[in-house]
Every structure is written in C-alpha cells, then in structure tokens.
Amino acid sequence: MAFPLPKLLPRIEELLHEVQWLDGLILVTDSERASFVSFSQVDPLLRRLRQKPKGQEVAEKLCMSLLESHGKGAAKPVLVFQRDGSFWLGMIGPADSNPHRHHAIAHLQRCLALGH
C-alpha cells in the first residue's frame, strides 16, 4: 500500500488540528474517509484488525506506533487499511510542523502521475 492518496491529505490535516490534544490515531479504510480513533477505542480496532489478512502484523506495528507517539503533541499515527490486507502506517503531523512536507507531497504526486 502506498502513502495515503494526496487528495486525502487536506482532510487528514484538518482532522489532526481538530484532535491535536487527544491521544489516538487517524484511520483511513476503503471508504477513503479519514476518521479519528481515540485511545479508548483502540482495543476494539486491534481486535478487528487481527481478524483480517495480515491483521496481526498491522496490529503489532500500530501498537508500537501508538506507544512512540504517546504524549508527543499533534503528530499522530495514520493507518490506511484496505480490505485485502494491504496497509500503510506512518506518522503525520500538521503541515506547519514539517517544512519539508510540501516538497515531499509534490514528489509523491509526480510519482503517482508517472504511474498512470
């Protein structure tokens, strides 16, 4: 699974600003909608993930990512998970916290354009 589609980044960043003081993660599924999963909702999510193809691996990586991000401000783990078991997991913070983000996004969009 590749990085979240560039069209999702504005919604992910908007969501990050809304929940910047809360612990949890941003989840994107096949619906391609970003939603916030609070720390109190993580256990049910992990149980559901473990039942999916590659779900055990995703759940373990997500747990580690949540532990690493705990108390580190507005940056949150982002999990893009598709029904077939493919996934992308990374940390994303608000755009103003990372000056290299716009360059990286532009590069990603060029790579995606070449793939079509």
The structure tokens listed for 22 are: 């809360």
pTM metric for this prediction: 0.72
83 phi/psi in degrees, rounded to 5: -55, -35
pLDDT in tens, 54-113: 789 889 988 988 888 776 666 888 888 877 778 888 888 776 555 555 566 566 666 766
Better-scored residue on pLDDT, 82 or 3: 82
Q: Is 21 exposed, middle or buried (0-12, 13-18, 19+ CB in 10 A)?
A: exposed
Integer Cα distance of 108 and 29 in angstroms:
20
Least confident of 5-19, 33-47, 83-97: 83-97
Least confident of 12-21, 37-46, 66-75, 86-95: 66-75
Which has the closest alpha carbon to 66: 28, 104, 22, 17?
Answer: 22
Question: Per-residue pLDDT for 6 more than 80?
Answer: no
Q: What pLDDT sits at residue 95? A: 63
CB 32 within 8 A of CB 5: yes
